[in-house]
Amino acid sequence: MPPIKETGKDEVKLELEKSSELDKKIENTGIPVYMERLELTDDQKDRLQEEIWAEFEAIKQERDEKELEELWDALDNQYDGLLEEDEARQFNIDRGITQVKVDKVVCLIMQALMESDPKYSIAPRPEFAKQGGIEVCER
């Protein structure tokens, strides 16, 4: 926001900040900052590619060490009710409770994120509400 300078008792004067060279370049090209392209040398491109692949391999190795793929498959099977039968158990019954609970949690999370209560509400006094004051407050 531009600085405000007081020039007199009742006067306020606004001054615009000076544009930098980057601002002038953006205005001249008409391209927003988020759409600018970087000019990289071949060495920079190679280094960037190596770093990305190294990070990818590290993530892949971590997922393999923690056996996340198998865990996710097991949890998906539990959700779908496709459990392996265990002869040590007397009963192998799937009641579908996991699916109900997971769906309820997802529904509550979506409500919390999408349907929030207003931060404030305005209500009329009881006497004014009897005279149609609710409609006035809803405007």
DSSP state string for 24-58: HHHHHH---GGG------HHHHHHHHHHHHHHHHH
Say what the pLDDT of residue 67 is. 95
Structure tokens at 71: 């865990």
**CB of 133 within 8 A of CB of 125?**
yes
- Average pLDDT for 44-62: 96
Q: Which residues pair with 4 in a beta bridge?
A: 14
- Asked if the model's pLDDT at residue 39 lies above 80, the reply is yes
> Nearest to residue 81, comparing CAs of 102, 66, 67, 109?
102
- Asked if the model's pLDDT at residue 77 lies above 80, the reply is yes
Q: Return the higher-pLDDT residue of 6 and 106.
A: 106
Say what the pLDDT of residue 122 is. 74
Query: Tens of pLDDT along 88-129?
Result: 777 767 777 888 999 999 999 988 888 766 677 777 788 887
* Residue 137 CB coordination number (10 Å): 12
Say what the pLDDT of residue 123 is. 78
- Asked if the model's pLDDT at residue 9 lies above 70, the reply is no
* Domain assignments of the chain as residue spans, ordered by start: 4-113
Say what the pLDDT of residue 3 is. 57
* Residue 63 binned pLDDT confidence (cut-offs 50, 70, 90): very high
Say what the pLDDT of residue 61 is. 97
d(CA 43, CA 48): 9
CA angle 97, 75, 113 (to 5 degrees): 75
